[in-house]
Amino acid sequence: MYQLPEAGYLRLPQIIGNPKAKPPIPAVIPVSKSTWWAGVKSGHYPQPVRTLGRRITAWRVEDIRALIERTAK
């Protein structure tokens, strides 16, 4: 099982996984890229943080942990 860091930010492949990466990145939330973005748009998944840079999209680890807790119940 992939361990989430205590704090910081995650990029999309770290959340939904990337089996083609070397080494493969396991999925924390096993959904497709299009399903993830549809969930962000609908409010089911957390909004990304874009203050890191103009072309950088990332999510707070705390928001991903809260999502996992919500879905585990």
pLDDT per residue of the chain (73 residues) written in tens, 0 to 9: 468 888 999 999 999 999 999 999 999 999 999 999 999 999 999 999 987 888 899 999 999 999 999 988 7
Q: What is the pLDDT of residue 2?
A: 63
Instruction: Report pLDDT for 72.
Output: 82
Model pLDDT, residue 61: 96
Q: What angle do CA 29, 12, 23 make, to 5 degrees?
A: 85
Residue 14: count other Cβ atoms within 10 Å of its Cβ: 20
State pTM to two decimals: 0.87
